[in-house]
Amino acid sequence: MTDPLNFYGVTLTSRLLVGTSQYPSPAILAEALEASKAEVVTVSLRREAGGSRAGESFWGLIRDLGLRVLPNTAGCRSVKEAVTTAHMARELFDTTWIKLEVIGDDDLLAPDPFGLVEAARILCDDGFDVFPYMTEDVTLADRLVDAGCRVLMPWGAPIGSGRGLNNIFGLRALRARFRDIPLVIDAGLGAPSQAAQAFELGYDAVLLNTAIARAGDPAAMARAFALACEAGRAAYKALPIEPRDMAEPSTPVLGRAFT
């Protein structure tokens, strides 16, 4: 990307954030991350890792690639669990960044808006830089910003569904309301074209995992998403034409022969 992105005072050149689960092997993960040109990766922290330091080789791989880690409270279903996991992540990874998930529905893996706001307020007050996984609800976004969040991460569709951007109207409304807050589409993207669409709506970044990790060729798909992000962002900055209901001729009529 030619124009930088800023999260909590950290400047990034890539607008693609990538998850690190579900890959067939560590080698394929490393290849995909390099192909994506991502600078930030999300990692899930389970409670078992806090005491045993399990997965140390995995963290080593991430560090060797020189990537910034965004720990994730994935799977947490209560405020207490999410806050405890966030504190463990800060100790383990030595970062104040946390991708906050408080899940409220097992089928859709939809966030619990009430628990999300409560946990966000606790963590922001405790010095965390919170990246909340949320729905595209404007009122929820207002509450999260009031709690101290300076980045918002609305879903495009349920996690791992590959359905793309389910609610274009809601996402447009969110972008219009929060012009000065970085907005990241988190979850639901399945194809590079959907990532490009997110950028064309004015979103600042996308975060995805399954679409790359479960692809037939993860590295090739990561490269495709990286190109789509660049194309979508460039298209947004170029100011696309507005849709019309009627045709408008692109060929001049002046000078055309008439009979």
Answer whether residue 54 shows pLDDT above 60: no
pLDDT band at 31 (very low <50, low <70, confident <90, very high): very high
Query: In a 10 Å sphere around its CB, with 0-12 CB exposed, 13-18 middle and 19+ buried, how is residue 102 labelled?
Result: buried
Q: Write out the two tokens for 26.
A: 């560590």
Percent helix / strand / coil, the chain, rounded to 5: 40, 15, 40
| Residue range 90-105, pLDDT digits in tens | 998 899 999 999 999 8
What CATH architecture is 5-238? Alpha-Beta Barrel (3.20)
Q: Which of 165, 253, 179, 258 is nearest to 208 (CA)?
A: 165
Residue 48's pLDDT is 38
Q: Write out the two tokens for 218.
A: 């993860």
Percent of the chain residues past pLDDT 70, beyond the cut: 92
What angle, rounded to 10 degrees, do the helices at 113-125 and 138-147 form? Answer: 20
CB 42 within 8 A of CB 231: no
Residue 47's pLDDT is 39
In angstroms, the CA 230 to CA 233 distance is 5
Q: Calculate the average pLDDT of the chain.
A: 91
Active-site residue numbers? 99
Mean pLDDT over 131-149 rounds to 97
Residue 17's pLDDT is 97
Instruction: Tell the residue number behind the tokens 């219009």, with chain if given.
Output: 176
Residue 1's pLDDT is 44
The rounded Cα 84 to chain-centroid distance in angstroms is 23
Residue 46's pLDDT is 60
CB 120 within 8 A of CB 149: yes
Q: Write out the two tokens for 51.
A: 């005491």
Query: In a 10 Å sphere around its CB, with 0-12 CB exposed, 13-18 middle and 19+ buried, how is residue 132 labelled?
Result: buried
Answer whether residue 245 shows pLDDT above 80: yes
Is 66 annotated as belonging to a binding site? no
CB 1 within 8 A of CB 205: no
Per DSSP, what are the bridge partners of residue 134?
Answer: 154
> In angstroms, what CA-CA distances link 132 with 2, 5, 49, 115, 215?
26, 17, 22, 11, 26
Going from N- to C-terminal start, the domains of the chain cover: 5-238
Is 30 annotated as belonging to a binding site? no
| Residue range 161-185, pLDDT digits in tens | 999 999 999 999 999 999 999 999 9
Is 187 annotated as belonging to a binding site? yes
CB 153 within 8 A of CB 134: yes
Instruction: Tell the residue number behind the tokens 């394929």, with chain if given.
Output: 28
Mean pLDDT over 63-82 rounds to 92
Is 160 annotated as belonging to a binding site? yes
| Residue range 124-137, pLDDT digits in tens | 999 999 999 999 99
To the question of pTM greater than 0.85 for the whole model, the response is yes
